[in-house]
Chain A
């Protein structure tokens, strides 16, 4: 295990207790992030990507959540830390930004107050010193007339400006790891590009690791160094961005990429869609979780669950037939009935 990992998630399992019984939202997820590196976590809604990020921050309600595995940060297992120690790490060493900028800022305080508050929670700053630092960070996010913005309330700002404020708030303590949970999903395309640039720039300025959660393969291509693709609570493919886009191994990843429109694609042709729908977490299939929707499935896929195995150097995949699929020798079995 290399020392340079900022965070190392090992075999993380997250169980929720709901009225319908115990649900495992994250099942055996492992990944790591290094300094000055962006790890993309990709998947459809409900695949467990947000739960994973909130597990790292330990933001989930402990009364209804159980964890297994380890999340190693700075030599300590975050899952074993008490609330007090976690509070000292949150916002200081690990920060998080969210998708919904409208509701992620408290409407009753000026954005300046909310940034200063983050700073003062992690060190003895005078109000004046904190305000100066806040202004410096907000200025670095490229927001126009930053000193004026700090005195404004969230509802007076645009979505893009709010996201810049969120980023400033997250980075004001110069964290080692930033978790960005779909930070650009609610923004228009131009603003999205600006925010992505800002995150990349901040990453190298602060030499920090970034976990970037998204469902958008286009964003992944733009910002990430490595990618973990999640499906129904599991990582099904883990690789560098180049390797993934060059040769996706898992049928699901292939499907995701074909579902993405590109400049070259024929506008008259229908976009590719992945057949079927994601099974419910309360009713997880016994074998490969993607089997029911997979064009290459065999009897083995339905009865036995594959593990995440190393395919090529640094490219991992959770599929029985990745090799055959890659070589083009796997038969398409889309019409064959599933033996349940």
Chain B
């Protein structure tokens, strides 16, 4: 198991390297001088020179890269050009609502999808299966921000039920926090649920063809044990995989859904930063989110190792 973990962690290094290069290149490959890009076309030559000096732009590119990388590795991603706060601090402030939303949506997604997918697989070819799968097909076709707009239109405007938009941090109480997050989380969780339902169903069907499911029945196990222990647990590996892979779409969705519901999260941060041409913040946000993706997938790889003994032993 330990060699497995070490191998997995080591395999992240090239991925993180690519991530770092891309993020670095974002600003440094820009047409013209990054300093003048940052300061905008109206900046004076003296200002541009000062910023060049400040950002170390007069050094050769590889040196700049390693300087930046070294700083990034120690958690120093520079400071916001807008108000001088360190980027990591700004990021964490705005990341909390996004993370809350993403987790809440993921929970809704999984909680809805697993039973639906299992149910559909167990009733394969029957009307319920057809209905659930058509629903899931429509589900994966409605982008989450659009779902958010439609939900606002329906619940908040026509039925006048929940707060249309806004946000209350966790410090104002869990219920208030969740109340504001409910519609956004449903918007985001809906597409996630549809996706996981489809994967769950097909993974279940695949596993159900395996001889060990027949063995389990031949042993006289109760139906629940057959479905949960000998089918769902085996089907869990592709389901986990899709949960890891969709992390980026989940965060991307969260960013836009937040914008729909006026939640002060990463979406707002990045849109504001684009308007303010606050490059260190944009750069830092992209880097940290990509890092989050890598981290989530590492965790999922490690869960594989727990779920499937073959993984930890074969490697």
Contact = CB atoms under 8 A, between A and B. Distances in A.
| Direct touching of A and B (C-beta under 8 Å) | yes
Interface of A: 57, 59, 63, 83, 86-92, 95-96, 98, 100, 103-109, 117-118, 121-122, 153, 155-156, 166, 169-170
A61 B307 CA distance: 29
A87 B211 contact: no
Given A106-B216, A107-B308, A153-B309, A98 B211 contact: yes
Interface residues of B, number: 24
A122 B220 contact: yes
A106 B212 contact: yes
Contacts of B125: 63
B305 to A, nearest CB: 12
Contacts of A87: 220-223
Q: Across chains A and B, which 4 residue pairs bring their CB atoms closest together, nearest first? A: A91-B220, A90-B220, A91-B219, A103-B211
A92 B221 CA distance: 10
B234 interface: yes
Given A100-B211, A156-B313, A108 B219 contact: no
A91 B214 contact: no
The majority secondary structure among interface residues of chain B is: helix
B21 interface: no
Given A86-B220, A87-B221, 13 more contacts: A83-B223, A87-B220, A95-B219, A96-B215, A100-B211, A103-B211, A104-B212, A104-B214, A105-B215, A106-B212, A107-B234, A108-B309, A155-B309
B210 interface: yes
Given A103-B210, A104-B211, A153 B219 contact: no
B18 interface: no
Contacts of B6: none
Interface string B271-308: 00000000000000000000000000000000000011
A87 B223 CA distance: 9
A91 B214 CA distance: 12
Contacts of A107: 212, 234, 308-310
Contacts of B309: 107-108, 153, 155
A103 B220 contact: no
A86 B220 CA distance: 7
B96 interface: no
22 contacts: A86-B220, A88-B220, A90-B218, A91-B218, A92-B220, A95-B219, A96-B215, A96-B218, A98-B211, A98-B214, A103-B212, A104-B212, A104-B214, A106-B229, A106-B230, A106-B234, A107-B234, A117-B221, A122-B220, A155-B309, A166-B215, A170-B218
